[in-house]
Amino acid sequence: MKAGALLLFLLLPTCLVRAQQTADLTAFNPKSGATALVRQGRLEVSWPASGADRGKVVLNLTANAPLFRSIQLRTRGHNQVIARNLEPAFILTVGKRDLVSQNGWNIFFDKVPQKPFRAYRLTRDHLTAAVSSTGARTTVTLGGLHAPGFSGQLELTLYHGSPLFNVAAVLTTSQDSTAILYDAGLVSAQPNWRSVGWATPDDQWHSIPVGATDSSRNVAVKYRTVLGETAGGSLAVFPAPHQYFYPLDEAFNLKFTWFGTNYRQLLPGYGLGIRQDLYGDKRYVPWFNAPPNTAQRLHFYCLLGAGSAANLLTQVKRYTHDDTYATVPGYKTMASHFHNEYVMQALLAGKPEAGVPEFVRFFKSVGLDIVHLGEFHYTAHPKGPDDQRLRELATLFELCRQSSDEKFLLLPGEEPNEFLGGHWLALFPRPVYWVMARKPDVPFVQQDARYGTVYHVGDKTQLLDLLQAENGLAWTAHARTKGSVGYPDEYRKEAFFTADRFLGAAWKALPADLSQPRLGKRALDLLDDLNNWGTQKKMLAEADLFTVNFANEMYAHLNVNYVQLPALPAFQAGWQPVLDALQQGRFFCSTGEVLIPQFTVAGKSAGETAKLPHPAQTDVTFDLRWTFPLAFAEIISGDGQRVYRQRVDLSSTQALGQQVFHVPADLTGKKWVRLEAWDVAANGAFTQTVYLVN
């Protein structure tokens, strides 16, 4: 079949072959605060939502009925029915992954939608149900889902302490070289909602009344959320804020929500939900990896509210700090690797914006204190002629100077991709003029009447000389993927890499794999390798994006470094304190929802060396702050050969919390240790490394 879509419409009456009147409650703990009851072909599960409020789902366990008989919220002593007769629905699109031409599952340069993709309809051949308790959450599991090459189950997870629940189709395939996308939502034969609402990309509330014959439409929204409102209250549908978005070069808002009748001609009835764009930014479009025998979790979140949809959206926004980066005392937020190309495409093209450029206003609006650019990405003249190269640099430096103030620091930066192999970024503590070419008769350092000191660099040795002379830093961009396939591994023994001027590498959620409980496994595995190599390198978070504006879905593709700085340096004085903090490992990386403001091992923080007692039993102390309920933390260590993981179960956490943890760890024989923490939506944070002496 030519390009199409794989329909996964859960619990369709035509797919139900027999009724099931019971549910397995053996793994359910009635002391958890939740209740579970089976009666008259229904499974009723309630959970503590917030304060005295309780959420409740009534599930049909009979054939020829939608799964959600009702979704309710009890607040102020009154039981309010938010919605009735809803069916969870998924459209799964299955394509072919290129595992041969480049670097296997780490590939980014794939164009999946340009190859055939297939359509199937998932069926469910029986109605089994089980309820289980784990920490502060209750899970209802309903099996079994089937399609040619795929099988799995439906999971509903109810999070105690908030009116939040998750709906997931968990699917496995034995087929190799598979890439996937999915759309999802809630559908009913007749509209449940009297209105549907959302925030427009410019952050204005908008709602429209619902009609039974309204054709489905895709909508560009802010906060990735669409909401339905009834006489009984409101329900919000939204995805995991970062995990749901496969990596692209651009963060365009591609209308990631939908509502209406007969969505994509595949979901009969009226629905609302989330969607992914098959063709992305029409550059490289890799979709999600779906390796054989991995449990791919296709899921979305629902939040309940007793009032209006507009008020409920305010509650949804708390899970991403309103799509901004929260302030942490003693830290400054820093983002890196943006190819906005404002110098070449606006300033030197004679098309400057009036006033402060939009990309600068955007960065300030999301709570970023420091932004490191990656200008001149194949658009400028890095090798000269000298007058042109120096003019471009001078324009970049002036842009950054004018855009910086006492609350925001815009740092000039490039992705040179010369001399070393693979792609890399550079950061100097002040404006530095250098040309990426050197003729035999040109000295390494020259004095220019207009620009001052100018360097000409012709090879990797001279590049290291430049970094050392100007106290700069360099690191591998998108290591082991994209244009850095094979790097930094191939130059790990080179003098420039082993020097303290080479920071390490950068982290981004690339590739994407919905079976992983964390993001960016590729880069995190590299960080462990760097540690076992004994290099004391660091891992900096990077965005690697092109267009930056308010219309884009920027937050989903962003990440941040929380850098320990007592104050923001002034541009004119230079920003050496920023480079010092990075080089010393005094920062942690985050998607924004999970924060680690404190992490110590035997009293030492990231970047420092701890002397352990004998035997090496010690407490690992860390302070976590989060929005979505946490899933787990991991204390990750190594002995120079192997990597060891000590998982800390955090399933007892509720949403929007903070706690200091003291975890005993045996670090005998270990040479390094670091920390990761992840929530239920695969949002997370990780520290830099503490080095160990046993």
Residue 383 lies in a domain: yes
Residue 284 lies in a domain: yes
> Residue 660 sits in a domain of what CATH number?
2.60.40
Q: State residue 687's pLDDT score.
A: 99
pLDDT-derived band at 119 (thresholds 50, 70, 90) equals low
Q: State residue 64's pLDDT score.
A: 79
Does 18 have pLDDT greater than 60?
Answer: no
DSSP class of 516: -
355-368 pLDDT, tens digit per residue, is: 999 999 999 999 99
> Residue 440 sits in a domain of what CATH number?
3.20.20.140
Q: Are 187 and 86 in contact (CB under 8 A)?
A: yes
Alpha-carbon span 323 to 365, nearest angstrom: 10
Alpha-carbon span 159 to 292, nearest angstrom: 30
Q: Report the amino acid identity of residue 641.
A: Q
Q: What residues are paired with 610 via a beta bridge?
A: 692
Does 19 have pLDDT greater than 70?
Answer: no
- The average pLDDT across 62-73 equals 91
Q: Are 627 and 680 in contact (CB under 8 A)?
A: no
Does 99 have pLDDT greater than 50?
Answer: yes
Alpha-carbon span 287 to 303, nearest angstrom: 27
Does 7 have pLDDT greater than 60?
Answer: no
Does 104 have pLDDT greater than 80?
Answer: yes
* Same domain for 159 and 69: yes
pLDDT-derived band at 2 (thresholds 50, 70, 90) equals very low
Q: State residue 125's pLDDT score.
A: 67
Residue 2 lies in a domain: no
Three-state DSSP state, 575: coil
Q: What residues are paired with 68 via a beta bridge?
A: 59, 86
Q: Are 413 and 424 in contact (CB under 8 A)?
A: no
* Same domain for 598 and 551: no
Dihedral sign (CA 18, 24, 30, 32): negative
pLDDT-derived band at 145 (thresholds 50, 70, 90) equals confident
* Same domain for 373 and 414: yes
> Residue 121 sits in a domain of what CATH number?
2.70.98
How many domains are there within the chain? 3
Torsion, CA 446, CA 383, CA 496, CA 539, rounded to 10: 120
Domain that holds residue 39: 23-319
Q: What residues are paired with 512 via a beta bridge?
A: none
Backbone angles phi, psi at 467, to 5 degrees: -60, -40
457-490 pLDDT, tens digit per residue, is: 999 999 999 999 999 999 999 999 999 999 999 9
pTM of the model: 0.96
* Same domain for 200 and 315: yes
DSSP class of 348: T
* Same domain for 669 and 584: no
* Same domain for 541 and 518: yes
495-520 pLDDT, tens digit per residue, is: 999 999 999 999 999 999 999 999 99
Residue 497 lies in a domain: yes
* Same domain for 399 and 355: yes
Does 339 have pLDDT greater than 60?
Answer: yes
Alpha-carbon span 585 to 567, nearest angstrom: 17
Does 353 have pLDDT greater than 70?
Answer: yes
* Same domain for 456 and 475: yes
- The average pLDDT across 107-124 equals 88
Domain end, chosen from 319, 346, 373, is at: 319
Domain end, chosen from 282, 297, 319, is at: 319
Residue 585 lies in a domain: yes
Does 231 have pLDDT greater than 50?
Answer: yes
Residue 501 lies in a domain: yes
Neighbours of 444 (CB within 10 A): 15
* Same domain for 571 and 471: yes
**Of 634, 648, 641, the residue nearest 686 (C-alpha):** 634
Owner of token pair 């607040």: 75
Does 493 have pLDDT greater than 90?
Answer: yes
Mean pLDDT over the full length of the chain? 95
Residue 162 lies in a domain: yes
Dihedral sign (CA 371, 377, 379, 382): positive
* Same domain for 344 and 304: no
Measured in Å, how far apart are the chain's first and last C-alpha atoms? 61
Q: State residue 128's pLDDT score.
A: 84
* Same domain for 585 and 452: yes
* Same domain for 519 and 413: yes
Sheet with strand 502-507: strands edge to edge:
424-427, 473-476, 502-507, 538-541
Three-state DSSP state, 470: helix
**Of 231, 185, 180, the residue nearest 210 (C-alpha):** 231
**Kind of pairing between the strands at 409-411 and 370-372:** parallel
Residues 6+ apart with CB under 8 A from 475: 424, 425, 502, 503, 504, 505, 506, 538, 540
Domain end, chosen from 590, 622, 646, is at: 590
Q: Report the amino acid identity of residue 286.
A: P
Q: State residue 6's pLDDT score.
A: 38
Residue 17 lies in a domain: no
Q: What percent of the chain has pLDDT over 90?
A: 91
